[in-house]
Amino acid sequence: MYLYIKAIHIIFVVSWFAGLFYMVRLFIYHTEANEREESERKILQKQFEVMESKLWNIITTPAMILTVISGLWMMIEYKWFHQPWMIVKLMFVLGLLWYHFECQVIMKQLRHGVYKWSSTKLRIWNEVATIFLFAIVFIVILKSAVSWIWGFVGLILFSMIIMMAVKIYKRYRSKQ
């Protein structure tokens, strides 16, 4: 039974992350539509609202719920609550859940015409999910094989590289 639950968990983790990655990409396009002429802007923003709503309600949130359910099932069934690696993983999962619900807040703000985030800040925000993915996968695969200190240092370095890449891309885009 374990392998079936694990397969379901992995499938919904992938779906959840795909939804989160694409959702923030839609936020970027939604925000950048403000730079268009009014008639085009209205059409684009309406379309982005529809796309965001469908992605959120049909894919992203259901995938999150099924990820959490299948994950809890494995933790309870196989008594992983007291494993040090699982406690660390759960901290990152809680961060990812916060990220998920913060995206929901952004979606509702955009729907009401509130643009608190620039497209550059949204690009950086999009990379936060990448950092969570990186951390969670490494924790699950390596478990206790790596010192937590080195893992933390690696995560910080990875985060810095991603943020630098976003800034480089911003400079590249502004030159075009």
Mean pLDDT of 154-168: 80
Rounded to whole angstroms, the Cα distance separating 75 from 34 reads: 45
When the pLDDT of each residue in the chain is averaged and rounded to a whole number, the result is 90
According to the 3-state scheme, what is the secondary structure of the chain? CHHHHHHHHHHHHHHHHHHHHHHHHHHHHHHHHHHCCHHHHHHHHHHHHHHHHHHHHHHHHHHHHHHHHHHHHHHHHCCCCCCHHHHHHHHHHHHHHHHHHHHHHHHHHHHCCCCCCCHHHHHHHHHHHHHHHHHHHHHHHHCCCCCHHHHHHHHHHHHHHHHHHHHHHHHHHHHC
More confident residue, 92 or 175: 92
Say whether pLDDT at 148 is over 70.
no
Say whether pLDDT at 147 is over 80.
no
Rounded to whole angstroms, the Cα distance separating 80 from 74 reads: 8
pLDDT digits (tens, 9 = 90+) for 39-76: 999 999 999 999 999 999 999 999 999 999 999 999 88
Tokens of 143: 């478990």
pLDDT of residue 81: 77
Binding-site annotation, residues for heme: 9, 89
pLDDT of residue 155: 74
Binding-site annotation, residues: 9, 89
Range scoring the smallest mean pLDDT among 17-26, 135-144, 146-155, 158-167: 146-155
Mean pLDDT of 130-159: 80
- In angstroms, the first-to-last Cα distance of the chain is 54
Say whether pLDDT at 132 is over 70.
yes
Q: How much is the pTM?
A: 0.85
